Structure 1
């Protein structure tokens, strides 16, 4: 009996070690090829440009940053030319900018990140819930841990359609993406886990307006864009078109029209690559004109949400991977209908980063961003983990089978030998 117990313990230990090895190996890219020699900026830039040119459609702005300086830029378009000062719609990358706007209010002492947001709101309130609403704070909204279950994703409104007010959109978004609930409400205990919520950022937009006493777009221009030198950045589509907006293309590369949004903080900042380089540089360690005070910047970059035990979210930013010099690679993605995709990722400690703005090239921005994170850190970024889980599961099961089969066979033989001994 004692031998059988030892065998069970040894088998479970072997399975645990195998599991740890597989997950560690997967995170460190055992299923991934190096996009370029590690830290060779010239090779990575060339490989990225080759991918962009091979796509052969849409419009793309690509900027590679090394040690706090722009190393290289590449701009292509199947329509009207694009350049460093051409504006792109940023989709959910807009949330990062909105987060800076909110954190400025906190840094100025006008907002308590851990107070119920209901204390600041007069124009709209979260509906009553079995989980209450007192646990819905700005900190949790920024990190998608406030218990909201709207699942938004916004499709946006076509040019001839009336755009909802932000209050109506919070109540029931008319432009919810397929599969989204669309109602901004507390559907799980606040703080109990991470669940992406576009409605949470619509609520943060309303919060900024309530506290600042001015329209969201005006506040952002005055408090965020002007100090950072983002002279063209705007949440207003008409302003962006007048300033020079990149042509819109769908997934097949055909021309399309941009859409308008009831909650622009969540989905529709328009900015140029030149604007966003300033945005990123202001969030590097040692920036001459930092976007946030150092303590607030550290709070933004600290882990506030995790999945599978891996930190994935700060306040308004994703935590893509552990950075080589400590801390995390931070940034945000964006995807708007029909085929608008963006990514911006930086290592604040080293001053390295990547920016990709695109229309008409599904998957390209995320692919280049993931390549850069792996090339820079040696780790697969958290966005790619879901995609490799089926392969990881297959390897795990195969290894467990190899461990279990001889253990079960040995246990059976010992049991059979014991029966013969006492027969």
Structure 2
């Protein structure tokens, strides 16, 4: 019996040791990323990034790559600021759960119990079924997926005004389906939670989060308030082509407004590893964190209370959140069972192409599997086409595009969305001729795409070519009779819709 126990202990020990990486393996992996990440940033026109990797409860890589300001030559450091988009929700969820632990909020109580400054609009559904738990898990049946930001020149609306629809486009927050029956992502739901935190604590949301969550975690260079200190340390933000764009602000701070650094957010990642004996925090209990990472039944095993659950191609289960605002892309994922974690913050609209490859490599490294070509994401053909157009114009652009598509299919991403994005980029710059040239390629390359014809028609209409625009809107509707935008535009132009859908 004793011999069998000893054998079992040896087996368990050997398994534990094999699951942990040695110094040499870690150094080799870090060197690989040091070589890979700059190339990826260049391939996808992302100026800079910060990365943190945790292995067995300890940080093995904490570093900045590339530039926060290309013109000034300012490099990204571990203290460079980034907006992290919807990852803000996960941090905000900590604020809610702390109040739950303190008995100031009940998870299964109606949100209306805590609201006085704003109330859910009346609907055919019972608003008492919109509970705190359902708001945290996106199962409250609410509208409003996400928020566009505001310019620093804008007068930002109040939380109540934003919930009522003054939010730059998405509309008011309302109940659109039976609460508790289906998962539907709602940034609006987290704005309600933002208001509830203010109602319960009698503090501004950002002040409560700073005092009760961020500062206790040592995240003193992070904030939901964008002040001069935050701006001074922040990277510039960039579009999909690496060009600087305007800084954005948010009333919906819980949903999208946290600004942080890779150094600070690595602390949050460590704090989320509730089984890690090498790091402790006194804000949330192990039970609370485990509950937050347990998917609710109607989420298709994908979403808990502020944390997403994802199964990697290597069969490794991870928890965390992604974040994307205009000019920013970020990803945060942990494995609490092995005390491993991954965080990557980028300052470019195409940043997800970078971190999707890096996290894939990380997953394969952790599971001792060869990544081979399975992690590769091809650079967008749009970047190549844009370089040609910006230097040589649009004269031969269609011919050059199809030459590249025929001869270099394995070198670029030729999916439909690449051309659509480039066309709208030129439309936003009022370079209508360039936009039309790009959309002409898209309708030829994707003749069965209603979106290609709809986009082409929009550019033609903006150029004043009404007759041709109408022809292409009609083609779009024939391909997709449910093309609401095309139908709306044609009605506005006084075009009869009979026989178009046949």
Please say whether Structure 1 and Structure 2 have the same fold, judged by a TM-score greater than 0.5.
Answer: yes
* Within-5 A mapping of 1:257-296: 257-284=246-273, 285=275, 286=277, 287-296=279-288
1:346 to 330, 334, 345: 334
* Within-5 A mapping of 1:3-402: 41-54=26-39, 55-56=41-42, 57-78=46-67, 79=69, 80-151=74-145, 153-176=146-169, 181-284=170-273, 285=275, 286=277, 287-305=279-297, 310-321=300-311, 328-337=317-326, 339-360=327-348, 362=350, 363=352, 364-373=354-363, 376=366
| Counterparts of 2:293 and 2:360, CA distance in 1 | 19
Q: For the structure 1 residues 290 and 48, does the alpha-carbon distance in structure 2 shift closer, same or farther, using more than 3 Å as the test?
A: farther
CA deviations 1:152-209 (Å, max 9, x no partner) are x111111211111111111114324xxxx53211100001110110100111100100
CA deviations 1:314-363 (Å, max 9, x no partner) are 1001011389999x5211110001x2000111112222111100012512
| Counterparts of 1:306 and 1:192, CA distance in 2 | 6
Task: Specify every segment of 5 or more residues in structure 2 that has no aligned partner in the other structure, as ranges.
Answer: 1-18, 376-502
Alpha-carbon deviation of 1:277? 1.2
CA deviations 1:15-59 (Å, max 9, x no partner) are xxxxxxxxxxxxxxxxxxxxxx99654454444444421122411
Alpha-carbon deviation of 1:257? 2.3
Q: Secondary structure at the match of 2:227?
A: helix
Maintained 8 Å contact 1:87/1:240: no
Q: For the structure 1 residues 370 and 59, does the alpha-carbon distance in structure 2 shift closer, same or farther, using more than 3 Å as the test?
A: same
| Counterparts of 1:299 and 1:261, CA distance in 2 | 29
Q: Output the TM-score relative to the length of structure 1.
A: 0.74
Q: For the structure 1 residues 137 and 374, does the alpha-carbon distance in structure 2 shift closer, same or farther, using more than 3 Å as the test?
A: farther
| Counterparts of 1:208 and 1:47, CA distance in 2 | 44
| Counterparts of 1:59 and 1:315, CA distance in 2 | 31
Q: For the structure 1 residues 304 and 370, does the alpha-carbon distance in structure 2 shift closer, same or farther, using more than 3 Å as the test?
A: farther
Instruction: Point out which structure has higher relative CO (alpha carbons under 8 A, 6+ apart).
Output: 1
Q: For the structure 1 residues 373 and 311, does the alpha-carbon distance in structure 2 shift closer, same or farther, using more than 3 Å as the test?
A: farther
| Counterparts of 2:196 and 2:116, CA distance in 1 | 9
Aligned residues: 336
Q: Secondary structure at the match of 2:129?
A: coil
Maintained 8 Å contact 2:62/2:263: no
Q: For the structure 1 residues 378 and 183, does the alpha-carbon distance in structure 2 shift closer, same or farther, using more than 3 Å as the test?
A: farther
Maintained 8 Å contact 2:314/2:364: no
Task: Specify every segment of 5 or more residues in structure 1 that has no aligned partner in the other structure, as ranges.
Answer: 1-36, 385-423
Alpha-carbon deviation of 1:259? 0.4
Maintained 8 Å contact 1:305/1:314: no
- Give the superposed CA RMSD: 2.7
| Counterparts of 1:324 and 1:346, CA distance in 2 | 15
